[in-house]
């Protein structure tokens, strides 16, 4: 079943589509997303096309020299930074790399509008001014990578999944003690491909307490996406989408053409012991 394009959303998906200049009019939007009354939020013009073009130029020159890690080969995609789901190193090495990553992340954008100074504060304004920050590590002064930068080459894709599945993986043992079980995510489109590379969300919902079933490869009755309604979201460079990706099955459709799809992606969850939201890549 082909995806429904933005503008004609299926009833299962409730979308709030706003401009970055208007976030102050929607201060409870993310709280509504966590509660389930909104499924997704698009914020247009978080960054200008000029800023995104400059960031793409630096990413494609691998400047700064971020740690480069990989999706499984068939996905034709990679990370700058270390995705926690695919972590192949020990915790000590990860947190050492995270310190370097955050320093380089600050160099990538103009200082006044970096991800921490601009994008995280915008998320906070959409969530009743709750602070958004990198999740703290197990030792003082440690913190998880707040995001990762992802490059998807020609044919690159991400298969259907629910993000709440991730919380059952070994790398989440410490993080799971800090945050609520329900995850959501944001994607900032930095570089738009020629075609494809769309976030597609399916009419299939799994509650956090049931998410372990989705991560168990022995389960035979996983959904057939060909039988599911869906909605897909064309974005422009500088736009951000926030999605209830913990509950809803979603994927990234294959990139068409040789222009790389560049995004920054963060997973998020409400902190258990304070009025804040923790983020990680």
What per-residue confidence (pLDDT) applies to 168?
67
**CA 281 – CA 107 distance, rounded (Å):** 18
Which stretches does DSSP call E strand in 145-221? 148-152, 158-161, 184-191, 195-196, 199-205
Residue 197: which region, alpha, beta or left (left: phi > 0; alpha: psi -120 to 50)?
Answer: left
**CA 214 – CA 167 distance, rounded (Å):** 11
- Check if the beta carbon of residue 131 is closer than 8 Å to that of residue 65: no
Instruction: Name the percent of the chain lying above pLDDT 90.
Output: 79
Query: Mind giving me the DSSP string for 20-32?
Result: GGGGGG-TTHHHH
Strand 4-5 and strand 230-233: pairing? Answer: parallel
What per-residue confidence (pLDDT) applies to 8?
53
Would you give the DSSP letter of residue 244? Answer: -
| 195-221 pLDDT, tens digit each | 999 999 999 998 876 655 454 444 446
Q: Is the dihedral of CA 244, 246, 248, 254 positive or negative?
A: positive
| 36-66 pLDDT, tens digit each | 999 999 999 999 999 999 999 999 999 999 9
> Distance between terminal CA atoms of the chain?
31
Q: Which residue has the higher pLDDT, 224 or 27?
A: 27
Question: CA 150, 155, 160, 162: dihedral to nearest 10 degrees?
Answer: 0
Span 56-79, average pLDDT:
97
Gyration radius (Cα) of the chain, Å:
18
Span 124-151, average pLDDT:
97
CATH number of 4-216+224-280: 2.60.120.620
Name which of 178, 90, 179, 98 is nearest 138 in CA terms: 178
**CA 267 – CA 243 distance, rounded (Å):** 10
Lowest mean pLDDT among 15-29, 50-64, 136-150, 168-182: 168-182
């Amino acid at each position: 079943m082909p995806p429904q394009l933005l503008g004609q959303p299926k009833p299962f998906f409730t979308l709030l589509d706003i401009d970055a200049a208007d976030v102050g009019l929607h201060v409870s939007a993310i709280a509504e997303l966590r509660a389930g009354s909104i499924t997704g939020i698009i914020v247009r013009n978080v960054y200008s096309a000029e800023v995104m073009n400059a960031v793409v130029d630096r990413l494609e020159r691998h400047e700064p020299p971020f740690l480069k890690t990989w999706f499984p080969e068939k996905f034709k995609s990679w990370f700058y930074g270390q995705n926690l789901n695919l972590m192949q190193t020990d915790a000590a090495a990860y947190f050492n790399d995270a310190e370097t990553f955050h320093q380089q992340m600050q160099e990538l954008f103009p200082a006044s509008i970096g991800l921490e100074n601009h994008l995280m504060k915008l998320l906070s304004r959409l969530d009743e001014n709750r602070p958004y920050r990198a999740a703290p590590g197990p030792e003082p002064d440690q913190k998880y990578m707040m995001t990762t930068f992802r490059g998807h080459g020609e044919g690159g894709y991400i298969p259907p999944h629910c993000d709440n599945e991730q919380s059952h993986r070994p790398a989440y043992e410490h993080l799971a003690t800090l945050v609520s079980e329900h995850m959501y995510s944001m994607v900032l489109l930095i570089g738009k491909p020629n075609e494809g590379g769309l976030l597609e969300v399916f009419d299939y919902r799994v509650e956090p307490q049931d998410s372990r079933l989705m991560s168990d490869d022995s389960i035979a009755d996983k959904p057939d996406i060909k039988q599911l309604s869906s909605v897909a979201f064309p974005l422009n460079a500088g736009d951000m989408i926030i999605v209830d990706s913990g509950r809803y099955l979603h994927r990234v459709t294959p990139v068409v053409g040789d222009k790389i799809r560049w995004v920054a992606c963060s997973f998020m969850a409400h902190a258990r012991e304070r009025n804040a939201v923790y983020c990680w890549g």
